[in-house]
């Protein structure tokens, strides 16, 4: 079937024309248009509460509801992000903070996770579309999810009984061990994983074990999101007192050609996306901010 309804390249262009590729310079309405990374000896790549972040200038980034492609975000619930960036020889670490009264880190049919993503151009920032890039000018995306953070923090994949202690089925074929048959331990054989179809075919969303709560992605337009073969980014998120603090860290020295070039002195760009789980944000139902300029010292 051929798709006939791409919304509106015109809308994208209109939006960019209104905001400019680097976003608007009107700080009152849309926040800053530049993120200045501060140089440090050792960036706190997985510590959003480190005092070192005080050395970096805070940039306020205004968020908008995604209104370019279906499905749209109907209701905006977060208006801005507070962003700081630190750079050492190996990493570009970006900390994002926002107010969120409810921590959403569960996934069920009607429950969605809080999440953020940063996006950077792989090629010329001035020619790259901040809405998921394009075939000619793809983008690098680093995605953090609260549900992955919880997996990492507790040391295992969120299990059925954590949400519903009374749920179980009589036979889980080929399962090992005892009830409640922990997902991370009792389903190790290929036969036992036959019913985890997405896991069996290597879908990164269906991983049963995570070392980091982040995922490196590549996009060449809407609907093209794909995992990097090589995952070497890091990050960590902490929710406290109605506020998320999340650091996501992009490696500067990597053989992965799908990563952005982050040499000192480079001026590049960074865009943001945010998902508020309790407002059923997922996929395209997200908050976003177009590119702001990033100056690497």
Partner 1 sequence: MSKVKNIQLNREMEYPYEESRPRRQIAYIFDTNKCIACQTCTVACKTTWTSGKGQEHTFFNNVETKPYGFYPHGWDVKLLGMLGPGEWDGEGTYNGKTIFEAAPPGERALGFLPEEEDYASPNLGEDISAGSVPQGAFFQNIHNIWMFYMARICNHCTYPGCLAACPRKAIYKRPEDGIVLVDQSRCRGYRECVKACPYKKIFYNMVTRVSEKCIGCFPLIEQGEQPQCVKTCIGKIRLQGFLSKPGEEKEDNPLDYLIRIRKIALPLYPQFGTEPNVYYIPPVHVPRLFLKQMFGPGVEEAIAAYRSAPRDKKLLAALLMFGNTPKIIQRYAVEKEEAVGFDGMLQEAVRVPFTEPFFQRDFFDKKHQVYRHNIS
Does 165 sit near partner 1 (CB under 8 A)? no
Nearest approach, Cβ of residue 280 and partner 1 (Å) = 8
Which of 143, 141, 133, 114 has the alpha carbon at shortest distance from 218?
141
Nearest approach, Cβ of residue 45 and partner 1 (Å) = 26
DSSP 6-58: ---HHHHHHHHHHH-TT--S-HHHHB-SEEEEEE-SS--TT-TT-GGGGGSPP
Does 167 sit near partner 1 (CB under 8 A)? yes
Nearest approach, Cβ of residue 276 and partner 1 (Å) = 15
Does 209 sit near partner 1 (CB under 8 A)? no
Q: Judge contact between 88 and 80, C-beta under 8 A.
A: no
104/275 Cα distance (integer angstroms): 10
- Rounded to 5°, the CA angle 94-244-34 comes to 35
How far is it between the farthest Cα atoms of the chain?
Answer: 61
Does 269 sit near partner 1 (CB under 8 A)? no
Cβ proximity to partner 1, 38 vs 160, nearer residue: 160
Does 3 sit near partner 1 (CB under 8 A)? yes
Q: Which of 155, 165, 171, 265 is the binder for partner 1 (CB under 8 A)?
A: 171
Q: Which of 15, 38, 160, 295 is the binder for partner 1 (CB under 8 A)?
A: 160
Does 28 sit near partner 1 (CB under 8 A)? no
Does 69 sit near partner 1 (CB under 8 A)? yes
Does 155 sit near partner 1 (CB under 8 A)? no
Does 179 sit near partner 1 (CB under 8 A)? no
- Distances, alpha carbon 174 to alpha carbons 116, 158, 181, 188, in Å: 37, 21, 11, 9
49/102 Cα distance (integer angstroms): 19
Q: Judge contact between 213 and 236, C-beta under 8 A.
A: yes
Which of 202, 104, 109 has the alpha carbon at shortest distance from 149?
104
58 Cβ neighbours under 8 A, 6+ residues apart: 82, 83, 84
Q: Which of 9, 154, 198, 266 is the binder for partner 1 (CB under 8 A)?
A: 198
Q: Which of 32, 50, 149, 199 is the binder for partner 1 (CB under 8 A)?
A: 199
Does 190 sit near partner 1 (CB under 8 A)? no
The contact pattern for partner 1, residues 212-251, with x = CB under 8 A and - = no contact, is ----------xx-x--------------------------
Cβ proximity to partner 1, 52 vs 158, nearer residue: 158
241-256 residues labelled b (16+ CB within 10 A) or e (exposed): eeebbbbbbbbbebeb
Contacting positions for partner 1 (CB under 8 A) = 1-5, 67, 69-74, 107-111, 147, 157-160, 163-164, 167-169, 171-173, 175, 181, 183, 187, 194-203, 205-206, 208, 222-223, 225, 280, 282-284
């Amino acid at each position: 079937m051929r798709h006939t309804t791409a919304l509106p390249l015109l809308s994208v262009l209109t939006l960019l024309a209104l905001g400019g590729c680097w976003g608007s310079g009107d700080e009152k309405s849309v926040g800053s248009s530049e993120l200045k990374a501060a140089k440090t000896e050792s960036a706190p790549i997985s510590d959003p509460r480190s005092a070192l972040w005080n050395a970096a200038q805070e940039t306020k980034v205004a968020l908008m509801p995604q209104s370019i492609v279906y499905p749209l975000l109907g209701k905006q619930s977060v208006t801005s992000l507070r962003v700081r960036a630190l750079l050492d020889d190996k990493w570009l670490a970006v900390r994002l903070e926002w107010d969120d009264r409810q921590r959403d880190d569960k996934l069920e049919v009607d429950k969605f996770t809080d999440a953020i993503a940063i996006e950077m151009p792989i090629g010329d920032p001035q020619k790259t579309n901040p809405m998921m890039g394009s075939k000619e000018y793809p983008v690098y995306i680093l995605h953090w999810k609260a549900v992955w953070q919880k997996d990492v923090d507790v040391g295992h994949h969120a299990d059925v009984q954590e949400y519903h202690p009374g749920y179980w089925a009589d036979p889980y074929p080929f399962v090992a061990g005892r009830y409640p048959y922990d997902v991370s331990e009792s389903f190790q054989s290929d036969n036992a994983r036959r019913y985890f179809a997405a896991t069996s075919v290597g879908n990164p969303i269906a991983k049963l074990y995570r070392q980091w709560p982040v995922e490196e992605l590549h996009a060449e337009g809407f609907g093209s999101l794909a995992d990097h073969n090589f995952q070497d980014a890091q990050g960590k998120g902490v929710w406290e007192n109605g506020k998320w603090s999340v650091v996501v860290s992009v490696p500067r020295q990597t053989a992965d050609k799908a990563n952005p070039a982050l040499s000192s002195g480079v001026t590049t760009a960074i865009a943001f996306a945010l998902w508020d789980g309790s407002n059923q944000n997922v996929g395209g139902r997200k908050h976003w901010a177009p590119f702001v300029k990033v100056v690497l010292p």
